[in-house]
Structure 1
């Protein structure tokens, strides 16, 4: 066994029938990846009903310690038997530091004006949203019923419908039938709900009285006074707010036909590998390209505009030309590559970046899976400003770790979007940790918001991720059953405007 291997028949292994009832069977893989042992770990798997994670105190449950890697608050910087005090490998950036570097690697893009609609969804407001009018802009009825003046009973006179101005004021001792949202006639003191009033027939006309056991309405009852929600010029939302469907509705109510938002980051995806197939069942030593279909929608959920997805052979010249074209011809702010980040005979990415004069900002991250990922600043191309390149490993789950680690923070900065609030959840069972690296493990939430680790966590696997509600951040040394761990929202099941 390797240094971090566990026996397949360890004490936590359940009998096969129990594992099958839990949802998945077997144990996670260990694989050699780019010259380093890629640790998959082992976890029994259940797939309970999805629940909600708990909002976390930003200062808990982690605090910094000597290695720069987050550790549970009840562990000392000196480390324990699980090795939490160990230092990361030479050259590997601690996971939290890599995310901070990616967040700080770019500046917010410029503004653009877009119609009030789908084009604005998922962007950030470039300016605060100020009310263009009072809301409501006139005194109106909050209920179907009668607008009354003075004490009752009231003599009934006329009707006011929504969208129409009242013909005349309501006089003291009179009532006017009124619909929800209709303007209040001048002189109205309150509204009587339709279910609270009784119409009585009299020779001199119909009269409105309060129903049995109903009290006369208090002044202003069931009315919507002008400016109840806001006054003209009030800031409804600050700059940087995510444009969601609710924001579109608020902006429309406040009088907007278009919004000034931060431009979407343009991202080009380059999927590299001779072994990849675009269609059909894997065969003859080749595998299906999983990242070509996976990445574009995920990037769009992070607010990006995907300019193109191209498959490339393991050829340095083709890769160099594709990166140059993505920036100079397609105007990409970010180029995302998959594959070629390790040290194998056809892993050309680092050599291409060095030849083009790119500057490596992150060269390896202390995280499993996905540690060979990188982030580089590309030199300015002719007529185009410099762009950034995120190099993700070719193994699918390792590439997803790269998205969560480098690409998501980078895109949020470019798009002007704030980082999502952290969440934590208690683990339903212990998770073995890497001695020095952070682990990202797919989990599902139960009805009590506890996180159940999923199976199939090898770097080439997507089965666990496809069933996941999030990715648990397991610190070096592992985490105990019941321990709170940070959970990253994968965004896979979220709408395009809210994915994190």
Structure 2
């Protein structure tokens, strides 16, 4: 089949462009249906993964009455005779006689029979070497189950594992966690016109997506090695097919840049056809970002992999990442569908007719306002470098100052929970 015939066939069978919100929902659903299998990981190796089952304590927290202060565990009325000492990490004998006390350290187990704890700084030693003072009326220890009960759900499945989660899991008595691993991703850069070093010139432009897309993917929770970034791939159909087949051997997701149209050197559609892919989304009614796509391949053994076709213009490629790749990756990791926060527009933002407009903005999280930025053409990255996300202007509308609109946050730091 010629390149022209293959391109025409792909165009005929491809589904029509999807609305932006519909596309997000669709790719999240297929990602969730193909969620990565759960594996057990030691706590030291679980950071950046996603809980595959709820986090529950193995015992009550705390598991035993625990002193909140340094002082004296006393029984009955004072002054009290000192009969021992209790340090953290030990099981003390019970206090059996009224008028007795043991010195106790913060975090130590409160002995059975204790009726109060007297703070060390509020106590005195009497001439006959007894302890005197007045305990505070509120108990100075933590009761079993005060923080959580054994088996209580503390965090749901789908929670990203971060240092706080690791600490909580350890306190719950876990040595390992059931998690979904981070998706493996690769990037293919298409375009003979691209330079990989030095300044642009003589009709050739610098590849801005080869360095940046892997960094975005890592911020969305992916594993991307330097060897997983390939290109520029030669502008021929055989080169595209070979490169995509090789990348799919190890990756759960392969992103490509450029080639999403049907021009003379746009080979992505016939490549997908040659590999037996089916479209999840083929073009989205959004500006900037046209055209973008997500395709799916299913092996004979049921293994599912995805190809995200990003436009060649840099800002449009990032729009495709936040529109299709981010919700897909949330689904693959078993995370909830991202909920978009609302912001108040500080200035007007124009609409784009029948298309959703994703407008780059700076987000003042204190004031809850979004300010449009300049230099936001599809081929520009200057505005993106100073932005925090995209304000969503729905089809058939425009944004007036004071309007409340959704915003798609950019994941500006690794592991940020915006997505």
TM-score using structure 2 length: 0.88
Deviations 1:203-237 (A, max 9, x none): x1142313xxxxx4236x12112232233333333
- 2: CA distance, partners of 1:351 / 1:289: 23
Deviation of 1:483 after TM superposition, in Å, equals 0.3
Deviations 1:410-451 (A, max 9, x none): 111111111223210100011111111111122222331111
Equivalent residue for 2:72? 146
Equivalent residue of 1:295, what SS?
A: helix
Equivalent residue for 1:471? 390
Equivalent residue for 2:132? 208
Deviation of 1:145 after TM superposition, in Å, equals 2.4
Equivalent residue for 1:131? 57
Equivalent residue of 2:224, what SS?
A: strand
Are 1:93 and 2:18 counterparts? Answer: yes
Contact kept in structure 1, 2:340 and 2:407, CA below 8 Å:
yes
Equivalent residue of 1:444, what SS?
A: strand
Q: 1:207 to 1:380 in 2, by over 3 A?
A: closer
Equivalent residue of 1:130, what SS?
A: coil
- 1: CA distance, partners of 2:36 / 2:76: 58
Are 1:489 and 2:409 counterparts? Answer: yes
Are 1:227 and 2:175 counterparts? Answer: no
Equivalent residue for 2:7? none
Contact kept in structure 1, 2:95 and 2:101, CA below 8 Å:
no
Contact kept in structure 1, 2:79 and 2:130, CA below 8 Å:
no
Pairing partner for 2:48 from 119, 122, 131: 122
- 1: CA distance, partners of 2:339 / 2:279: 29
Pairing partner for 2:299 from 348, 373, 380: 380
Q: 1:188 to 1:370 in 2, by over 3 A?
A: same
Deviation of 1:379 after TM superposition, in Å, equals 5.3
Pairing partner for 1:317 from 238, 245, 250: 238
Q: How big is the alpha-carbon RMSD for the aligned residues of Structure 1 and Structure 2?
A: 2.3
- 2: CA distance, partners of 1:479 / 1:497: 27
- 1: CA distance, partners of 2:154 / 2:344: 36
- 2: CA distance, partners of 1:341 / 1:193: 71
> How many residues in Structure 1 have an aligned counterpart in Structure 2?
398
Deviates more, 1:395-404 or 1:156-165: 156-165
Are 1:354 and 2:280 counterparts? Answer: no
Deviates more, 1:267-276 or 1:428-437: 267-276
Deviation of 1:169 after TM superposition, in Å, equals 2.7
Q: 1:358 to 1:173 in 2, by over 3 A?
A: same
Are 1:112 and 2:30 counterparts? Answer: no
Deviation of 1:150 after TM superposition, in Å, equals 2.1
- 1: CA distance, partners of 2:309 / 2:137: 66
Equivalent residue of 2:51, what SS?
A: coil
- Structure with bigger helix share is 2
Deviates more, 1:339-348 or 1:251-260: 339-348
Equivalent residue for 2:287? 368
Q: 1:157 to 1:417 in 2, by over 3 A?
A: same
Deviates more, 1:171-180 or 1:436-445: 171-180
- 1: CA distance, partners of 2:216 / 2:299: 27
Equivalent residue for 1:306? 224
- 1: CA distance, partners of 2:90 / 2:40: 33
Equivalent residue for 2:348? 430
- 1: CA distance, partners of 2:261 / 2:292: 8
Deviates more, 1:166-175 or 1:425-434: 166-175
Are 1:498 and 2:408 counterparts? Answer: no
- 1: CA distance, partners of 2:116 / 2:144: 14
Contact kept in structure 1, 2:338 and 2:418, CA below 8 Å:
no
Q: Which has the higher contact order (CA 8 A, sep 6+)?
A: 1
Q: 1:461 to 1:170 in 2, by over 3 A?
A: farther
Deviation of 1:496 after TM superposition, in Å, equals 2.0
Equivalent residue of 2:353, what SS?
A: coil
Q: 1:152 to 1:353 in 2, by over 3 A?
A: same
Contact kept in structure 2, 1:123 and 1:497, CA below 8 Å:
no
Equivalent residue for 1:166? 92
Equivalent residue of 1:468, what SS?
A: coil
Contact kept in structure 2, 1:155 and 1:208, CA below 8 Å:
no
- 1: CA distance, partners of 2:298 / 2:161: 32
- 2: CA distance, partners of 1:151 / 1:470: 64
Deviation of 1:384 after TM superposition, in Å, equals 7.3
